[in-house]
Structure 1
Amino acid sequence: MTGSPSRVYVARLAGLPVYDPNGDQVGKVRDVVAMMRQDDQPPRVLGLVVEVFTRRRIFLPMTRVTSVDVGHVITTGLLNVRRFEQRPTEVLVLGELLDRTVTITDTGATAVVYDMAMEQWRTRDWLLTKVAVREGSKRFRSRGQTYVLDWRDVTGFTQDEEGQGATHILAAFESMRAADLAGVLHDLSAKRRKEIAAALDDERLADVLEELPEDIQVEILDGLDTERAADVLEEMSPDDAADLIAELPTETAERLLTLMEPDEAEDVRRLLTYEEHTAGGLMTSEPVILPVDATVADALAHVRNADLSPALAAMIYVCRPPLETPTGRFIGIGHIQRLLREPPSELVSAVLDTDLDGLRPDDSLQTVSKYLATYNLVAAPVLDDEGRLLGAVTVDDVLDHLLPDDWREHDRSDHGEQEGDHDAS
């Protein structure tokens, strides 16, 4: 390895910004693509999986990478924006090789891979030359001792492994938003998705499931034991949980609803009574609801909740008791932008918008879309015939139903995207 540059540890690449020669960011690194070779030769690094700003993952060949430095990656500026599709001969280093159980050839001890290093040779090829492992055998004096070994000093990468862990891949993606982690899972095999889902806590898994296509949601939920599946559904927003449960066989759906907390299950059951493409089928039953004597300070404190989506946090709903849906009589809505201009002690009831008629639960998707567009809203109340608040429809839920089912995967030529071959050149 004489003459090679300093080695680059792959786990540290996760999430790094990718810049063109002009200094403009074009995306973020999500994984490294390598090709296994015979005779214990170190795998050749073919390129990077880069997420561009349309949330599409593309392939960036290493031949178009001019610099891999601390904190950033620089490219030649030439990008093929066709969606990355993994080939049978390729492996994703972060997604598939981290957390592998391998054998140290000198000792026969087992260890778990927590990172790998790549280096560029004189031929300009990048190779995976080092494997960072955490010892898992009792044979050593200190359980959990770490080593950085040559690729040839470990075996086990080419063998199928049951129950591969996910600790280190999740550490690499710890700061990633749920939508971005969902994109990573989408590109992995069903087996690897199941292993990573098992390692996520219920709340994080719920957030990620909400960002995945329904077929993958069902696949992951089927891989969980029934009690845990019910716990995860409880952590999801009621409208997303209802959409997912509606995709399950009737017996499975009823069993999960029975295992859920009664209050959570009641909200989901109520949402399941509405047709899918109606205001009732789109709405969430948990908007920010406040009493008539709430102050501006109270409203702002409620919308600071990090679990609220931006659309839900943009508006509060003032009602008579009870304050859980279906509420008492609906009074009006408060726009957070307006409340920010009022003294904290001001009653929200003094600055409410009371002129808007709410949606009805049987209003069509087209009616909901026109309503939001007409009044320039990102959310809208849904009321029953007695004027009680049933829930709120948000613009993100409307878009999810207006866009094609495969919008997360769809290649859209109207965005100037070019077709091209995925190759290593």
Structure 2
Amino acid sequence: MARLPGTPVFDPAGDKIGRVRDLVVGLRIGRRPNVHGLVVEVQPRRRVFLPITRVRRIEAGSVVFTGRLNMRRFEQRDTETLVIGEMLDLEVRLGDQPMTVYDVAMEEVKPSAWEITKVALYKGRRREPRTVAWSEVSGFDKLQKDQGAAGLIAAFETLRAADMASALHELPSKRRVEIARALNNDRLADVLEELPPDDQIGILDTLEPERAADVLEEMGPDDAADLLHDLPEEQAAKLLALMEPREAAPVRRLLPYPDDSAGGVMTSEPVVLPPNATVAEALAHIRQHDLTPAVAAQVYVTRPPTETPTGTFLGVSHFQRLLREPPSTLLGKVLDPSIDPIRPEFTLLQVTYYLAHYNLLAAPVVDGLGRLLGAVTVDDVLDHLLPEDWREAAGGRDDEQDDGDDREGGRS
């Protein structure tokens, strides 16, 4: 069952409607748990319940169901347990030996009725696997205070940061904190950037201050500044002091700007090169895998120094223009003269009009001395224009349905 998260789910017509995120089971005293169904994430980032009775095939790389899908947002009931979110990494007992769960197996015991039949366990650091029958294991009726996270992280390993953030948001707060603590700093930073502010603060508050500062260093300066804005002033100052000075400097420069201004949402790390750099050098820079498409869409050309705040801003080279030019061409010869930079005090509405008017993915932000301070990207603007709870509300109203079916009717 730990292999199912991320598996595409197809309707009877063969259209992909979402991906598996978890499985819902009901624990029963003295009997094997029965599988109620799957938690499926459909666009835009809404988690719904797919009864196991509607699943027709579970194959390598696909789950196929029949019938129509109730689009009511999934809500876990008190009598239910999530396999991925709550069972993995649980400490149980095999006889008198403490063991840790890293996978469980389900089996179709009769048509459209599935039960958990086996448990995969390991003991100690060597993690030598052992598979036993469900009846041989005890301890699934409780959740430990410190449950661990290795199995769940492995199940979520292939998820994009935004999808993992969505998965974390849906977990109980205890498990969310355990997973966050177990992630490495780089991965946790990527995930934090995609979480709602309340989740960000909740996770950051559970980390040791030194580690929290390390995670902030791995975040984009604009995202780190947004998070520090939401923290109490004393806590934000303490974390800034713990950050490496070189990493804290761009964050400090962003903090004075209002949240609803160009300076408050810009990234201070766009691609910046001098005018004597070549097209080949520019293309090599925008090919970096850690750049978002919006940041990589333009190269900003300035006089040295080329770290923000830069020397005099000269202009912008769009990546499409770069692709049309010989590799040895100097950037100073391929600037777009039609793009005027914006000022950091521009409001988000002004920035939105600017991007829409010129059909741009990003815009340079320049101070009164003509120095490049950063760039505002279209995704930065969207993040701040949408309601604060847009991630939770992305799927629309909770009472929307496509067919009126009641979730209870799909239980096995």
User: TM (normalized to structure 2)?
Assistant: 0.96
Aligned to 2:34: 44
Contact 1:36 1:44 in 2 (8 A): yes
From 232, 235, 239, the counterpart of 1:252: 235
Deviation at 1:341, TM superposition (A): 1.5
From 93, 96, 119, the counterpart of 2:83: 93
The number of residues matched between the two structures is 407
Aligned to 2:249: 266
- Structure 1 position 160 matched with structure 2 position 143: yes
Q: Secondary structure at the match of 1:145?
A: coil
- Tell me, in whole angstroms, the C-alpha distance in 2 between the residues paired with 1:336 and 1:191: 45
Per-residue CA distance 1:11-44 (angstroms, 9 max, x = gap): 11111111111211111111111111123x1111
Any stretches of 5+ residues in structure 1 without a counterpart? 1-9, 138-142
Deviation at 1:124, TM superposition (A): 3.1
Task: For 2:65, give the aligned amino acid.
Answer: T
Contact 1:17 1:27 in 2 (8 A): yes
From 408, 412, 417, the counterpart of 2:396: 412
Task: For 2:78, give the aligned amino acid.
Answer: P
Report matched runs for 1:177-196 at 5 Å: 177-196=160-179
Task: For 2:343, give the aligned amino acid.
Answer: R
- Structure 1 position 175 matched with structure 2 position 151: no
Aligned to 2:56: 66
From 124, 131, 152, the counterpart of 2:112: 124
Deviation at 1:420, TM superposition (A): 6.1
Task: For 1:132, give the aligned amino acid.
Answer: A
- Tell me, in whole angstroms, the C-alpha distance in 1 between the residues paired with 2:317 and 2:150: 43
Aligned to 1:7: none
From 2, 21, 26, the counterpart of 1:11: 2
Task: For 2:109, give the aligned amino acid.
Answer: W
Contact 1:230 1:257 in 2 (8 A): yes
Task: For 1:31, give the aligned amino acid.
Answer: D
Deviation at 1:166, TM superposition (A): 0.9
Report matched runs for 1:4-403 at 5 Å: 10-39=1-30, 41-105=31-95, 108-122=96-110, 124-136=112-124, 143-403=126-386
Per-residue CA distance 1:217-238 (angstroms, 9 max, x = gap): 0000011100000000000000
Task: For 2:28, give the aligned amino acid.
Answer: R
Deviation at 1:155, TM superposition (A): 1.0
Per-residue CA distance 1:128-164 (angstroms, 9 max, x = gap): 1111001239xxxxx5332111111111111230211
Distance 1:300 1:192, change over 3 A: same
Q: Secondary structure at the match of 1:310?
A: coil
C-alpha root-mean-square deviation of aligned residues, in Å? 1.6
- Tell me, in whole angstroms, the C-alpha distance in 1 between the residues paired with 2:405 and 2:228: 39
- Tell me, in whole angstroms, the C-alpha distance in 2 between the residues paired with 1:420 and 1:173: 30
Aligned to 1:140: none
Q: Secondary structure at the match of 1:174?
A: coil
- Tell me, in whole angstroms, the C-alpha distance in 2 between the residues paired with 1:354 and 1:89: 64
Contact 1:82 1:420 in 2 (8 A): no
Contact 1:110 1:136 in 2 (8 A): no
Deviation at 1:243, TM superposition (A): 0.4
Q: Which structure exhibits the higher relative contact order, with contacts defined as CA atoms closer than 8 Å and separated by 6 or more residues?
A: 2
- Tell me, in whole angstroms, the C-alpha distance in 1 between the residues paired with 2:73 and 2:284: 42
- Tell me, in whole angstroms, the C-alpha distance in 2 between the residues paired with 1:326 and 1:145: 54
Contact 1:46 1:62 in 2 (8 A): yes
Deviation at 1:242, TM superposition (A): 0.4
Task: For 1:412, give the aligned amino acid.
Answer: G
Aligned to 1:5: none
Deviation at 1:340, TM superposition (A): 1.1
- Tell me, in whole angstroms, the C-alpha distance in 2 between the residues paired with 1:13 and 1:321: 51
Contact 1:47 1:61 in 2 (8 A): yes
Q: Percent identity?
A: 58
- Tell me, in whole angstroms, the C-alpha distance in 1 between the residues paired with 2:405 and 2:67: 16
